[in-house]
Structures are given as structure tokens and as C-alpha cells.
Amino acid sequence: MPERIGALDFVRGVAVLGILAINVTGFWGPLLATFSPAMPRLEPGGALWFIAAYVLFEGKMRGLFTILFGASMMLFADAADRRGANPDLMQVRRLLWLMLFGYAHYALLWWGDILLPYAVCGTLAFTLRRLAPEPLAASALLLFLASHGLEMVGDLATIATEARVLGGHGLPAEAAEQAAMMGRIAASIAADTRVLHAPFLEAVRLRLTTAPFLPLESLGATFFETFPLMLLGMALLRMGLFTGEWEPASLRRMAVIGIGLGGAMSAALIGWAALHHFPPGAMFAIMGSLAAIPHLAMTLGYLAALLLLWPRVQDRAIGQRLAAAGRCAFTNYLGTTFVMSALFAGWGLGLGGMLPRAALPLVVLVGWALMLAWPQWWLARFGQGPLEALWRRLTWWGPARSTLPPAAGAA
């Protein structure tokens, strides 16, 4: 069990750090800034950072985190069962609290919350946990590929239409639709910028009055990524991926093929976009359905590579720090939102949209340093991260206290 927990925490630590490399753009600017380096404006050096982050991190770190969330739900069920508690009831309680954390995260701090969508998708995925792992994995992959494949058909048509309009060959109706899209983009950027630069209470009021259901909209937009990947994580845990039951040769093939193929496809997509000056309609597709297969391939490649790496670094300082960051991923995720909001939001230093986009990698490095600096010290004294302990206490509020060691409960 400790080896399994350690590997999961190590991968989760890498994932939560990588997520910051993507989220930092959303903290810095409006929502649409995360879709294109040309929104709200193209800056010197900004496109290079966007391209690098897209190829290395976009979708891949979130994919790792989602797969591990599915695996951790199975570990939690095993722990609840050992304690004599009802795993289904306790998981529902756990995810309901996560849902509340998620909406508070959105309302108080940031539009980019993923906790509420995770809670909803996790509740649905957990109902399928008793399926055999092989059909569960096959169903997850089929749902993922079919849903994104259908969306891809419409997105390719949109790209073709936009190309005709931008080339001056579009029909009047197509030109009108392109103009309408640009109007919606401008309105979205203006609304988000208003929230970004507002004082704290005004920003909360704006989020709750202008977009109170945005987390549910995010759920709809990400469901066919989040739900299948959670199922896949559940299946992979039962198939022994995290317990050393897969041959190293199989993991090496998975890493080389996944990272090589996914990376090449990601680079080709964003390279095409750069050559065409990041057309907005195409960027929505390149960040969405067209990236689904590259993201999945690279996610699985990263997962295999990190599992191969873990035995080599588990006794080294970097491995221990990353595993500790993974054990405190919940606190790190929400704590990063607070720190980045204090840096970029109007109620903090107000650097959102003002700091050059090319400087964001430096912000990410500072964030990584903070995320790695505190967890080992804290865990040595308290056993769990502060928000992990609160979530655990709320989940088990009422049932008998745990007799499990903190690491097993944290999973």
C-alpha cells in the first residue's frame, strides 16, 4: 500500500504543478486568454509561452489529475470498507463536500474551478466501480473517442467556414456569423476584465449575479473528458498499473508512443494555428475536440513515464517533495488560486492583464517553488494538508474516527 500511495502522490504532485502552468493565464487575464495568445491581444513573446504550454501541459496535466481522481475514489472505497463503513454513502458525502468547496472556490476567487465538475462526474463514475476493469476501460475510451469525434466533425466545418471568411471568400451569412462571434468574444473579454479588476466584494457580486451557473456550464463543456478519464483511472488501478504489475517494457512503450505521438500532434495543431495567426474559431477547436486524442495520448505517455521514474526518485529530495506536494494537492490547488488572485486580481496587486504575458513563466516558477516548499514540513507535523484534513473531517463527521494511517486516508 505505501508504494502504491507514493506513486500516486508523485504523479499527482507533478500534475498539480503542471496545472498551474495552464491556469496562470486564466488568473492573469480573461477566460478567453486561455484559448489563444491573440486574446485579448497578441504580445511579443506571449505566443511562444502559449505554444510551449500548449504542447507540454495543456490538457495533459488535467488528464493526469482526472485519472488519479478516479483511482483515488477506488482507494477511498477500499479504506471505507476496511473501516466497516458504507463506501457508497461515504463517497457521496465526500463528493458533496467537494461540490460545496468547488462552488465557494468559484464564487469567492476564480471562474476556473474544476472541483464542482469533478464532484458531479465522480459521483456518476463511482456508480460503475463494480464493473470489471477491462470493460470499464474500454467503455471509458469508447465514450471519450466517440463524443470528441462527433464534436470534431462540427469543429472542422467551423474552421473551414472561418477560413473562407478570413480569405474574403465567405458567403454573407458566414461573414455575419464570424462578426457575431467576434462580438461575443469582445463582450466576454470586457465582462471578465471587469471582474478581474474589481474589488473583492464587487467581484463576488459580479460572479454571482452575471454568471451564477458558470461551474455547471463548465461541467457541460468538460463532461466527456472528465467522466471517461475518471472511469479510466478506476479501471487502471484495478488493472494494477499503480502497483508495479505492469512490465517496465510495456510502460516504456506506452511512454514513448504516447509522448511522441501526442506531442507531435499537439505541435502540428498549434503550429498550424501560429502560421494562420491564431484564428479565433479555429483556436476554440484546437483547444477542444481536435486536441482530445493528442491530449489523451500524451497524458497516458506522461503517466507511464512518471511511474517508471518513481522508483528512481522516491528516495531523492525531488521525488519526496513532489510526492508531498501531491499529498497536499487539494491545499496546493486552492492555495495557488488565492496566491495568484492576490497577485493579479484588483483586490490584490492588480497585475492582471498588465504584467507582460511573456513574464508568466517566471510566475509559474515562483508558484512551483511555493507548492514544493511547505508540504514536507507540514506533513511531518500534521500528517495531512490543512484542507485535506478539513475535507476528511467533514466527510467522516458522524461515523467513527479513522484508525488508518494518514497516507491511506489522504488517498
Q: What cell does 44 get? A: 511579443
What is the predicted pLDDT for the residue at 4? 56
Residue with cell 483547444: 287
160 Cβ contact partners less than 8 Å away, ≥ 6 residues apart: none
Residue 409 binned pLDDT confidence (cut-offs 50, 70, 90): very low
Residues comprising the chain, all counted:
411
268 Cβ contact partners less than 8 Å away, ≥ 6 residues apart: none
Position 25 pLDDT exceeds 50: yes
Q: What is the pLDDT of residues 104-155, one digit of tens each?
A: 999 999 999 999 999 999 999 999 999 999 999 999 999 999 999 999 999 9
Residue 399 binned pLDDT confidence (cut-offs 50, 70, 90): low
Separation between Cα atoms, residue 285 and residue 223, nearest integer Å: 16
Separation between Cα atoms, residue 19 and residue 35, nearest integer Å: 15
Q: What cell does 71 get? A: 483511482
Separation between Cα atoms, residue 237 and residue 5, nearest integer Å: 11
Least confident of 231-245, 278-292, 391-405: 391-405
Separation between Cα atoms, residue 404 and residue 411, nearest integer Å: 11
Q: What is the pLDDT of residues 194-236, one digit of tens each?
A: 999 999 999 999 999 999 999 999 999 999 999 999 999 999 9
What is the predicted pLDDT for the residue at 115? 97
Q: Is 109 helix (H, G, I), strand (E, B) or coil?
A: coil
- For residues 344-361, give the mean pLDDT: 95
For residue 358, what is the DSSP state?
G
Separation between Cα atoms, residue 115 and residue 95, nearest integer Å: 9
Q: pTM score, two decimals? A: 0.94
What is the predicted pLDDT for the residue at 5? 66
Nearest alpha carbon to residue 14 among 332, 399, 229? 332
What is the predicted pLDDT for the residue at 398? 72
Residue 403 binned pLDDT confidence (cut-offs 50, 70, 90): very low
Separation between Cα atoms, residue 224 and residue 76, nearest integer Å: 24
Position 372 pLDDT exceeds 60: yes
What is the predicted pLDDT for the residue at 6? 87
Percent of the chain with pLDDT over 70: 96
Q: What is the pLDDT of residues 156-185, one digit of tens each?
A: 999 999 999 999 999 999 999 999 999 999
Q: What are phi and psi of 143, to 5 degrees?
A: -65, -45
Q: What is the pLDDT of residues 267-311, one digit of tens each?
A: 999 999 999 999 999 999 999 999 999 999 999 999 999 999 999
Least confident of 11-15, 63-67, 79-83, 319-323: 79-83
- For residues 75-95, give the mean pLDDT: 94
Residue with cell 495568484: 340
Position 408 pLDDT exceeds 80: no
Examine residue 40 and say whether the peptide bond preceding it is cis (omega within 30 degrees of 0): yes
Position 410 pLDDT exceeds 50: no
